[in-house]
Amino acid sequence: MGDDDDIRYAVADHIATLTLNRPERMNTISAPMLDLLGALLTRANGDPDVRAVILTGTGRAFCAGLDLASASRGEGIGSAAAAHPPTIDLRAAPPTVLFAMDKPVIAALNGSAAGYGMDIAIGCDIRVMAQDAKLAAAFVKRGVVPESGGTWLLPRLIGWAKAAELIFTGRTLTADEALQLGLANHVVATADVAATARAIAAEIAANAPLAVQASKRMMRMGMDERFDTHVQHVYLQLLPLFRTDDFQEGIRSFMEKRPATFIGR
């Protein structure tokens, strides 16, 4: 992908970085960008060289939501022409792809996330926010619901009552408020967002990738399982990991008191 695309994609040191690249439009998501974002996330998840993913934006916003300016002109998402599309494959939509990914995804919020942008951010596993960034759950103020996972994710992340207040009021959270609620892992200076996210991604990438991905998969399954069912699934996941080269390397490196070098098999 070239630098002129609406979403930049780069891989280095086992880390894939996806950068929303419409700074003049606050990185609002157009209809073509929905397809591109879903495809690039799928690409990162399927790349054996990628062990962690960073999602960020250029300019002063992370993502200000869907491109409502186009809709107001009768074009794209939410327009009259698009009100009754023949088919919508939600399996390829970015929120669904994000949820199904085994690779850990870090949202590096260089700026504010609103509406769809907030749903995408909370769909990531870890969030690093700039001190002046905000999360705007403005859906009901625009006459819609959190259409991209927010109604499922928020009650699980912060509890029913806090999620209800946030969604029903359409309130905007500061970075510090997001941190207090547990919606942000770290709040740092804007200039430090990228480096902080990359440091976390590098720490993840240094671990055994199959074990990391299995751990995320088990966490996701555990959200809707009984404990006894879940531990059975964990046991079945553990058995193939015992047969990997990385498991043997993990044991050897521990015994030899050295950093492990994992190869992902």
Q: What is the pLDDT of residues 41-79, one digit of tens each?
A: 999 999 999 999 999 999 999 999 998 765 544 555 554
- Nearest Cα neighbor of 63 from 101, 35, 22 is 22
Fold of 209-255: Lyase 2-enoyl-coa Hydratase; Chain  A, domain 2 (1.10.12)
Q: Please indicate whether the domains covering 7-205 and 209-255 agree at the CATH topology level.
A: no
Per-residue pLDDT 10s for the chain (265 aa) are 444 489 999 999 999 999 999 999 999 999 999 999 999 999 999 999 999 999 999 999 999 999 876 554 455 555 444 555 545 678 888 999 999 999 999 999 999 999 999 999 999 999 999 999 999 998 888 887 777 888 999 999 999 999 999 999 999 999 999 999 999 999 999 999 999 999 999 999 999 999 999 999 999 999 999 999 999 999 999 999 999 999 999 999 999 999 999 999 9
- Nearest Cα neighbor of 174 from 27, 166, 68 is 166
Task: Indicate the pTM of the whole model.
Answer: 0.90
Query: Of 3.90.226.10, 3.30.70.260, 3.20.20.10, 3.10.20.30, which CATH number belongs to 7-205?
Result: 3.90.226.10
Domain ranges of the chain: 7-205, 209-255
Residue 119 and residue 154: Cα distance in Å, rounded? 9
Residue 232 token pair: 């059975």
